[in-house]
């Protein structure tokens, strides 16, 4: 396990303003938080609260309007060229829509091997071998490695996307609503996979969801956003049992009936065999 207590990501008073003819939108408003090595920081908030913008800021895909984001001490806005490529390798993302995030004309194995190819790691044979190992690790039978994304179910597509995100052995995995597009039973399976991977690989995660029940399953600490602002950040246990902020209490009240149902699905239900190929 990585050293506990070491900061991997530090957002310092970071804001993102989108300007349009209709006016300015402060999508992210002076957010400060840290992601410690080995932890899973959950980020929750209603749709439009700025979560995906935070994900892009943390990944260095968009520059902040104000403030800065440090990854392992490096200011993402000032890193360029080779150094940026080296940093990019260390942070990977999983998106809500797995099909849209995979290359449709590449097989499952080729999708997973693509980051290795881009970073010129190994040769074709070793990359394929590694892709098969990763597919197996995320629960996709390597027998299906040469099928195309459209031939897999949504859950299997998301597993392939996760395998690809892990190909470069990243330090940080940013998951932006990774289960929101999936059926409930499949959601539980993908969450379990992420829990297992996080434990076996010692991953650091930023895990984003509009659904508190989903975050409760994974997060070490939870940050709650509302209208671009951070309203509460607390250890998961504390946030779910003694939420301090009235907005968090409202969010919790809204999902309570679902929380019980979800927990039952995750713990008690027999494993639902998911069709591997549709
Ligand atoms: N590229 C963009 N241009 C203009 N407005 C944007 C852009 N991206 C996000 N926004 C706005 O920023 C706000 C936060 O969006 P987003 O980060 O996607 O929220 P969430 O992921 O929590 O649903 C929304 O009001 C959204 O319309
Ligand atoms: Mg979003």
* Ligand nearest to the Cα of 177, by number: 2
Q: Indicate whether 16 pLDDT > 70.
A: yes
Higher-pLDDT residue of 270 and 104 is 104
| Residue 49 in domain | yes
| Residue 157 in domain | no
| Residue 150 in domain | no
Q: Indicate whether 2 pLDDT > 80.
A: no
Query: In this structure, which residue's CA is closest to atom 16 in ligand 1?
Result: 50
Structural domain of 67: 1-90+172-180+202-258
pLDDT of residue 268: 37
| Residue 159 in domain | no
- State the average pLDDT over residues 81-88: 91
Q: Indicate whether 10 pLDDT > 90.
A: yes
Distance 208 CA to ligand 1 centre (A): 14
pLDDT of residue 35: 98
Residue 240 belongs to what H/E stretch?
A: helix 236-241
Q: Which two tokens stand for residue 224?
A: 């709650």
| Residue 68 in domain | yes
Identify the band that residue 95 occupies on the pLDDT scale cut at 50, 70 and 90.
very high
Distance 27 CA to ligand 1 centre (A): 6
pLDDT of residue 262: 45
C-beta of 45 in contact with ligand 1 (< 6 A): yes
Q: Which two tokens stand for residue 217?
A: 């399953």
- State the average pLDDT over residues 70-86: 93
Domain count of the fold of the chain: 1
| Residue 152 in domain | no
* DSSP E strand boundaries for 72-194: 74-75, 91-94, 172-176
Helices (H), the chain: 51-58, 81-90, 98-101, 108-118, 124-137, 154-166, 184-201, 212-218, 236-241, 246-267
Residue 4, judged by CB atoms within 10 A of its CB (0-12, 13-18, 19+), counts as exposed
The CATH number linked to 85 is 3.40.50.300
User: Which residues are within 5 Å of ligand 2 (an ion), measured at CB?
Assistant: 51-52
Q: Indicate whether 79 pLDDT > 60.
A: yes
| Residue 126 in domain | no
Range scoring the smallest mean pLDDT among 28-32, 190-194, 239-243, 253-257: 253-257
C-beta of 27 in contact with ligand 1 (< 6 A): yes
| Residue 134 in domain | no
Identify the band that residue 274 occupies on the pLDDT scale cut at 50, 70 and 90.
low
């Amino acid at each position: 396990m990585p050293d506990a207590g070491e900061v991997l990501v530090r957002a310092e008073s970071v804001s993102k303003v989108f300007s349009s003819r209709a006016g300015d939108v402060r999508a992210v408003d002076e957010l400060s938080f840290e992601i410690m090595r080995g932890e899973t920081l959950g980020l929750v908030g209603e749709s439009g609260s700025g979560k995906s913008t935070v994900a892009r800021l943390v990944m260095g895909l968009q520059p902040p309007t104000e403030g800065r984001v440090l990854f392992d001490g490096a200011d993402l806005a000032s890193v360029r060229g080779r150094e940026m490529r080296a940093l990019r390798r260390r942070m990977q993302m999983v998106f809500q829509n797995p099909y849209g995030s995979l290359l449709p004309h590449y097989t499952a194995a080729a999708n997973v091997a693509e980051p290795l190819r881009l970073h010129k790691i190994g040769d074709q044979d070793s990359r394929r071998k590694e892709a098969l190992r990763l597919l197996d690790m995320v629960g996709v039978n390597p027998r299906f490695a040469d099928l195309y994304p459209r031939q897999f179910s949504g859950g299997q597509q998301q597993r392939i996307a996760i395998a690809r995100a892990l190909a470069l052995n990243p330090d940080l995995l940013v998951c932006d609503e990774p289960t929101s597009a999936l059926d409930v039973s499949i959601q539980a399976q993908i969450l379990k996979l992420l829990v297992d991977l996080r434990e076996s690989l010692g991953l650091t995660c930023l895990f984003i969801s509009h659904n508190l029940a989903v975050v409760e399953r994974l997060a070490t600490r939870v940050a709650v956003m509302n209208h671009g602002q951070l309203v509460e950040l607390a250890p998961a246990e504390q946030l779910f049992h003694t939420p301090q902020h009235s907005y968090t209490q409202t969010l919790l009240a809204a999902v309570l009936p679902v929380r019980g149902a979800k927990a039952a699905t995750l713990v008690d239900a027999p494993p639902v065999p998911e069709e591997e190929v549709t």
